[in-house]
Chains A and B, each alone.
Chain A
Amino acid sequence: MTTATSNRKINSTPWFTFISYAIVLIIALVCVLPFIVLISGSLSTESSVLKDGYWFWPRDFSIDAFKFIFRYPQDVLSAYKVSIIITVIGTALSLLISSMSAFVISRKEIRYRNVLAFFLFFTTLFSGGLAPYYIWISRNLHLSDTYLVLILVPMFNVMYILILRSFIQGSVPEPLIESAKIDGAGYLRIYFQMILPLSKPALASIGVFMVLHYWNDWWTAMMFTNNNNMVPLQYLLYKMLSSINLSSSMAEHVANIDSPKETFKLAMTVIATGPIILAFPFVQKYFVSGITIGAVKG
């Protein structure tokens, strides 16, 4: 890229540079503007929103909406607990089993490895549809209202397994595995002591996508839970946004008059989305490499 940069500078035209910066800036601003309006809305007083609507900055600063949520925080805390549990356990298990399966289908000793790969891949081509899936899980397996269903339903993505397979094939040298085998290491030991550590970069990237997937999943909860203690954050947010009702624990305590309904919605959105946005700058690197390892080779 450095040579390109210097070469491009030779006949750089100022107006073209200006247009490039302007277009990129506009796209970036459009992407970030809603976040700014959201945050400033959540930090406004209810009365200013009711009078003048939302704006790009808080016209009348107040943290009442947040105070209000944290006055009766049971529902929010319980949703945080559920979201954190399913995200941590789900991502860890998913990465472990995905990479283990990827290791298996990368081994040439297995004559039917492509059959196994196709066994996984076929599930992305064809499905029985939503109805049998729902009935099977809720009425036959009786998995509704369990942590298990929230963890298992979003757990795997065949593409990630296939990406991991390519990664293992490309970055773990075969002689290394062969020599470990000669030294008497079994496949399990090779997997845990060689494949796992050497796949760290790919696991980090896929881990970012899995964390996002679990954290943002509201669908599984909507389909398979009725119990208020099993509501993850995004589904709680959805329930609060779609009904103007407050969460059950808050509604018990609050007289209708002093409840900040408009700013409350935004504060709730900030609380549900905040952690993922705050964590983002630290994982951006893995996110970008995650997109490109899974992508077509340009």
Chain B
Amino acid sequence: MQINTEVTTVQKPEKRRKKGNLLLDMKQNRVLYLMFVPIAIYYIIFSYIPMGGIVMAFQSYTVKGGLFSSPWVGFDNFDYFFSSGKAWLVTRNTVIYNVIFLAAYTLFSLTAAIFLSEIQKKWFKKLSQTLMFLPYFISWVTVSAFVYNFLNYEYGIVNKLLEHFNMAALDIYSGTSYWYFLLPFLYVWKWVGYGSVLYLAAIVGIDQEIYEAATIDGASRFQKIMKITLPLLKPTMIILILLGLGRIMRGEFDMFYQLIGNNGRLMDATDIIDTLAFRSLMGTADFGMASSVGVYQSVLTLIIILTANWLVRRYDKDQALF
């Protein structure tokens, strides 16, 4: 998961002396460069040219002018976006949800991994892992069917159970409070299998002699977890959390859109940057808003990834993304 920007092996001096430009390199390694052409074309068309489309945020988009030559309006779109009150709202929601997601994901993955590592019956370990992976394999569309299945006001299984105990049924679309719990729960549900594999791999990598020594000294299994496993997992945890923080401005669009959609009553509590950008573009066709939201998100993301990577690099150079 890292990009080496350094040249890893020292080249022979006579090779290094043949300094040439890119064109010379291309000529000498024609076939290799040609093999890179397909991916280069792809990313030019699907990433770099749309990147140039950030100019759209400084223009008043017209169909005639198109993507690159509509009339310039300076920062009007941004003024509109920031004065609409939406900017603070969606930024706050995006950050809050992502922080909760990351914390809950780390906690549960770690817990699952630690207890999985304590299990000695192979078949039980394998079977429970298989079951934990299942949610990762389905789309958020399917998850929305599950939510319907469990929490539907009339037929949902949760409401049927509540009814059984003579309690009032939940109407999850009536209030925002349910979602602060439900969204993190579903996020963890979907990712815990994946996360537990990451931490389990780190646990398996711990030197077994440390445990043996602790056993001889009479440490209990609980003590071994607290004093050996957790401290030794700290580096992995810190790296994974920092890398997770790098994605903090990118919402889980799939999840929010599938579970909540365009529900007006829940909007204030569940509108994230991605859903706002999508709605402005596809719903209200407010291109000024859509493009300024996009640029706002891109710039923030870039700054945060650079910061997160800088922190990772300071902590453990080998784990840095670049």
Q: Which chain A residues have a beta carbon within 8 Å of chain B's beta carbons?
A: 1, 3-5, 7-13, 16-17, 19-21, 23-25, 27-32, 34-35, 37-38, 41, 49-50, 52-56, 97-98, 100-101, 103-105, 107-112, 114, 116-121, 123, 125-137, 139-141, 152-153, 155-156, 159, 161-163, 186-188, 191, 212, 215-219, 223, 234-235, 237-238, 241-242, 262, 265-266, 269, 272-273, 276-277, 280-281, 284, 287-288, 291-292, 294-298
Contact = CB atoms under 8 A, between A and B. Distances in A.
B134 A16 contact: no
B212 interface: yes
A262 B223 CA distance: 51
9 contacts: A11-B215, A27-B112, A38-B146, A101-B36, A103-B35, A107-B32, A125-B306, A126-B51, A133-B50
Interface centre among B132, B141, B155 (most CB of A within 10 A): B141
Given A105-B36, A291-B194, 13 more contacts: A3-B208, A13-B220, A27-B108, A31-B132, A31-B192, A53-B152, A53-B157, A109-B32, A114-B4, A114-B7, A125-B305, A132-B51, A298-B206
B47 A187 contact: no
Interface string B121-154: 0001101111111110111011011101110101
B137 A277 contact: yes
For the residues of B in contact with A, the DSSP-based class is helix
A216 B298 contact: no
Contacts of A135: 53, 56, 61, 66-67, 287
A32 B131 contact: yes
B298 A126 contact: yes
Contacts of A273: 138-139, 142
B189 A31 contact: yes
A55 B135 CA distance: 20
A216 B138 contact: yes
If over half of A's interface residues share one DSSP class (helix, strand or loop), that class is named, otherwise mixed; here it is helix
Interface residues of B, number: 126
Most A CB within 10 A of own CB, among B1, B22, B45: B1
Given A21-B119, A55-B157, A234-B139, A266 B149 contact: yes
- Among A5, A98, A133, A162, the most chain B Cβ lie within 10 Å of the Cβ of A133
B78 to A, nearest CB: 13
A294 B322 contact: no
A270 to B, nearest CB: 9
Nearest to A97: B38
Interface of B: 1-5, 7, 9, 11, 20, 22, 25, 28-29, 31-33, 35-36, 38-40, 42-43, 45-54, 56-57, 61, 63, 66-67, 108, 111-112, 115-116, 118-120, 124-125, 127-135, 137-139, 141-142, 144-146, 148-150, 152, 154-157, 159-160, 189, 192-194, 197-198, 201-206, 208, 211-212, 215, 218, 220-222, 236, 239-240, 243, 253-254, 258, 261, 274, 277-278, 280-282, 287, 290-291, 293-295, 297-298, 301-302, 305-306, 318-319, 321-322
Contacts of A13: 220-221
Contacts of B35: 100-101, 103-104, 187-188, 191
Contact of B198 (A24, A56, A292): A292
